[in-house]
Amino acid sequence: MSEETRSEVYAELAALGPYGVHPGHALITMVEPHPGHEYAYNRWYEDDHYYAGAMAMPWMYAGRRWVATRDLQLLRYPEKSAVAQPVTAGCYLSTYWVTEGRYDDHMRWTVGINKRLNRDDRVYQDRTHVFTAFQDHAATVYRDGAAGPRDFHALDHPYAGLVLQVVDADSADRRAELLEWLRARHLPRRLAGSPAAMVTVFRPTPLPGDRMTYVKQVEGVDTRLTLLWFLETDPRECWEDHFGGLEEAVAEGGLGKVELVAPFIPTVPGTDRYVDTLR
């Protein structure tokens, strides 16, 4: 067995490189199962792929899966989105943290395991990747300062909802300015008194050339920022008061444009809850 798995080198690998808890990188993937395949897709993802294609891999240390029922899909904006066409596409969202400094190591493994999963017929084909990208952590803004869960807890803490927001800077050389405006001014104001405990901000990275062909290359690598708002209440209960007008607020900042604001609730692992409310 040792010769087959090369387990003799595991101890050597464990003694090398970063092994902190900071989410230096993330995989954020929004997927639409094809009509008629909702139940089968859900079971494949929960019973196999979430583990064999994600959590069992090195340096991917936390994960959470989210769902947008039809009523949540209809809350999304803007109607003309550069991310999702139509804007309601992508009813499942999976989010994963990768240890800071371990992106390259994880990516080499994930490409290899996905080739193996495809070869072994363990990849569900009747789905569309609407928005899938590995991302580098850029900032985390907290509502309550040092109190409460940190960003490395976020995918394990029982948050009641998540809002995915995608913002494009006007140009590549203005993205850093947009990030600073979000971090220092916009997000602290929006978080104050809101049901969102934190917002994590990421920058997308290009997918490797040997990625799976069913995943399109990442768009907006030089201009895009991806925000995850972690909510303590169901997004339907706070949508108008706290998430209406994000498009206008960013536009008034003069540095970028909101391309997607999409609410989700957590799935219930091991069940098909919500699958019959997607359409």
Q: How far apart are CA 72 and CA 261, in angstroms?
A: 11
Question: Over 60: is that where the pLDDT of 2 sits?
Answer: no
3-class state of residue 142 by DSSP: strand
pLDDT at 217 over 80: no
7-16, 120-129, 254-263, range with the lowest pLDDT: 7-16
Averaged over 108-128, what is the pLDDT? 94
Mean pLDDT of the chain: 94
Is the CB of residue 23 less than 8 Å from the CB of residue 230? no
Q: Distance of CA 244 to CAs 8, 51, 170, 187, 248, Å? A: 55, 36, 22, 14, 9
Q: Which residue has the higher pLDDT, 206 or 98?
A: 98
Residues 6+ apart with CB under 8 A from 54: 27, 60, 63, 94, 96
Chain segment 149-191, per-residue pLDDT in tens: 999 999 999 999 999 999 999 999 999 999 999 999 999 999 9
Question: Tell me: the pLDDT tens digits for 24-53?
Answer: 999 999 999 999 999 999 999 999 999 999
pLDDT tens, position by position, 11-24:
999 899 999 999 99
Does residue 212 sit in helix, strand or coil?
Answer: coil
d(CA 53, CA 10): 20
Q: Is the pTM of this model over 0.75?
A: yes
